[in-house]
Structure formats: C-alpha cells, structure tokens
C-alpha cells in the first residue's frame, strides 16, 4: 500500500495527497510535438514508473518539472503548489537526477555535495552527505574530483547531488544506465528504503524488469502522449499470454501432426518446445501434450511481462488507450 493510501486509511476518505499534478501540458520544438496534451497525477508515496521508447517525451516532461524546459501550455503542481508561481518552494520538494552527466571539474565529490547543499541554504550537511556517500558506495572517492570517477561513479554522484536536500519527491531519469549490477542493487535498496519512509519516487528506465520489480503504477508514453496509466498488475494482466516451455528427455519427432492448430517452436535438437497461448487454451494444450506420453524433464509456464505490454502499446498498438 502506498503512503498516501495509508494516510487516507488513518485520516479518512477525504485525505488524498497528490505529489504531482500535470494538466494539459504541451511542448513543441519547432515542428516537433514533444509533449501532446499530457495529463498525469502521481500520488504521494508512490513508486511511479514513467516508461516509453527513445524520444517519447519523458525527459522533456521531467525537464518541465524541474524548471529546465519551458512548457508551451498547461500547468504542473508539486504538493499542491504551482511550479512557476512557487518556483523556490517546489524546487525544494523535488530531487531530480537528470540523464545527462555534468559536473564542475574543480571540486571534489564532497565539495560538490556541500556546494549543492548550499544552493538550498543547508549548512553543515555532513551527516546527510556521509549517509549518501555511504549508500552510493562513494565514501572512498569523497576527496577526489569528478574527472577521476568512472561513468557509473559519476552517475551515483549525480544521484547523491539530487538528494542532499532530502526532497519529498525524487525523480530518477535513467539512474542505472552504466551502473554495474551489484551497485544497482545497493542503489535500489537505498531508494526502496526512501520510498518506505514515504518519499515519492518517479523513475524512468529502459530496464523494464527494474520497473516491473519496483513500481506500483506505471505510465507508458509514446510520441509525446501518455498512452496508458495503470497499476503494474493491471497492465500485465491486460495481456492474455502464457508461454509454455517444456524440455523432453529425448528428441521428439512428428509433433507437427500431433499439435495441429497450435503455434510452437521446437529447438534445434528437438528436445525443447515453446508454445505461446492464451490462458483459456492452457488446459487443452497441456492435455494434448500429456497424451503424447513423452518423457518430460522440465516444464515452465510464464505469464506476460511488462515488456509485452510495453511492446503492444508503443510499437503495434500505438494510441491504444
């Protein structure tokens, strides 16, 4: 249950807290409509995924949130405050980790974080800085300059920079690109912990399995539009697909005759079969296979994945809403 739902349970039905409200946002770059009437509500405490193929408009939308990109029309509120009218206040509530890596090369990692704390009027922020350096495995790099950091370390410094002022809403634009698996896991552990403390997390990533594992709700963008917003479970359940994988003890022959009208792939040595089917046909297919009396070594039945939803909505289905 997300934080805002827990609060609503405690304080009653009217207690709805929206972290970010995006209304009728349009943005063009010359002829290109980068954002086309975008509307989105993100609840306080959610772990929210913003997904879409390259060029869908995710970074443009995040840029508008952070005041780096000027929208043509529409409005955005952060914790109930308009981002233009209350620029300073809303900026404090947001910690945005951008996709592009830029640092002043003259300052060490620690100085970079101290200076950034200063932008928010925070002095003596050592405790938070040490916590971040530790969580992001940068403690031993604290006294060196960004030029001496690897790509993955720079990305982690970017994350630390966005979090020094302890923002309520954390926006992560492709945070794990170039970060190795072990550090990716420790980064997620830290972010999940922040989410458990009630922070709202908004994540864009091209690693769909990360979004599937982490996010409560997901918006899928394509060509400047939000094509679908729903819970992860509803999105995945919207795809009626089961993938049956069976491994036989010996190579099998003549399945074409036996499995007529069923689409299947047999591997090279004819010992493994993959059958994609709708849920309702699962029983029929398994019974048919059983009747063949083959020695089965292993069997696996997979459900649809977020990736299937993503492909359907962004390449084939387009504006299927």
Ligand X SMILES: Nc1ncnc2c1ncn2[C@@H]1O[C@H](COP(=O)(O)OP(=O)(O)OP(=O)(O)O)[C@@H](O)[C@H]1O
Sign of the Cα pseudo-torsion (77, 58, 224, 236, in order):
negative
Backbone phi, psi, residue 17, to 5°: -115, 125
The stretch among 52-60, 100-108, 152-160, 312-320 that binds ligand X (CB under 6 A) is 52-60
Q: Is 29 in the site for ligand X (CB under 6 A)?
A: yes
Q: Is 315 in the site for ligand X (CB under 6 A)?
A: no
The stretch among 26-34, 123-131, 145-153, 284-292 that binds ligand X (CB under 6 A) is 26-34
As a dihedral over the C-alpha atoms of residue 310, residue 172, residue 70, residue 103, rounded to 10 degrees, the angle is -130
Rule CB under 6 A: which of 85-104 touch ligand X? 99
- As measured in angstroms, the least distance from the Cβ of 149 to ligand X is 22
Residue carrying the six token digits 């950091």: 149
Task: Candidates 6, 9, 32, 321: give the one binding ligand X (CB under 6 A).
Answer: 32
Task: Candidates 1, 14, 54, 124: give the one binding ligand X (CB under 6 A).
Answer: 54
Q: Is 219 in the site for ligand X (CB under 6 A)?
A: no
Q: Is 57 in the site for ligand X (CB under 6 A)?
A: yes
Query: Residue 88 burial (CB < 10 Å; 0-12/13-18/19+)?
Result: exposed
How are strands ordered across the β-sheet holding 73-78?
32-43, 18-29, 73-78, 81-82
Q: Is 199 in the site for ligand X (CB under 6 A)?
A: no
On whether the CB atoms of residues 233 and 307 are closer than 8 A, the answer is: no
On whether the CB atoms of residues 168 and 19 are closer than 8 A, the answer is: yes
Judged by beta carbon, residue 69 or residue 294, the one nearer ligand X is 69
- As measured in angstroms, the least distance from the Cβ of 284 to ligand X is 41
- As measured in angstroms, the least distance from the Cβ of 280 to ligand X is 36
The stretch among 29-37, 71-79, 175-183, 252-260 that binds ligand X (CB under 6 A) is 29-37
On whether the CB atoms of residues 212 and 220 are closer than 8 A, the answer is: no
DSSP string, 96-143: EE-SS----TTS-HHHHHHHHHHHTT----HHHHHHHHHHTT-GGGTT
Q: Is 58 in the site for ligand X (CB under 6 A)?
A: yes
Q: In the complex, which residues of this chain contact ligand X (CB under 6 A)? A: 29, 32, 34, 52, 54-60, 99
């Amino acid at each position: 249950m997300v934080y805002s739902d827990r609060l609503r349970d405690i304080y009653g039905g009217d207690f709805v807290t929206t972290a970010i409200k995006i209304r009728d946002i349009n943005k063009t770059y010359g002829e290109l409509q980068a954002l086309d009437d975008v509307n989105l509500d993100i609840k306080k405490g959610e772990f929210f995924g913003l997904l879409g193929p390259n060029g869908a408009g995710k970074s443009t939308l995040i840029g508008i949130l952070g005041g780096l990109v000027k929208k043509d029309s529409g409005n955005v509120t952060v914790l109930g405050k308009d981002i233009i009218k209350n620029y300073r206040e809303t900026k404090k509530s947001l910690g945005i980790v951008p996709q592009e890596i830029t640092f002043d090369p003259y300052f060490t990692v620690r100085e970079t974080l101290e200076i950034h704390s200063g932008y928010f009027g925070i002095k003596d922020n050592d405790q938070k800085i040490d916590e971040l350096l530790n969580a992001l495995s940068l403690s031993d790099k604290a006294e060196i300059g960004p030029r001496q950091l690897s790509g993955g370390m720079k990305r982690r410094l970017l994350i630390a920079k966005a979090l020094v002022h302890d923002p309520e809403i954390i926006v992560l634009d492709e945070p794990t690109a170039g970060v190795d698996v072990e550090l990716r896991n420790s980064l997620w552990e830290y972010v999940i912990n922040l989410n458990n403390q009630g922070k709202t997390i908004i994540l864009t990533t091209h690693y769909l399995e990360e979004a599937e594992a982490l996010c409560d709700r997901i918006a899928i963008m394509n060509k400047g539009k939000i094509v679908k917003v729903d819970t992860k479970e509803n999105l995945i359940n919207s795809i009626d697909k089961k993938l049956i994988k069976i491994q036989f003890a010996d190579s099998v022959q003549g399945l074409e005759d036996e499995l007529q009208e069923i689409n299947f792939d047999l591997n090279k040595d004819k010992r493994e079969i993959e059958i994609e089917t709708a849920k309702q046909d699962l029983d029929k297919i398994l019974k048919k296979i059983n009747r063949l009396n083959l020695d089965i070594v292993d069997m696996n039945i997979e459900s649809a994945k977020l990736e299937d939803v993503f492909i359907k909505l962004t390449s084939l289905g387009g504006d299927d809403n």
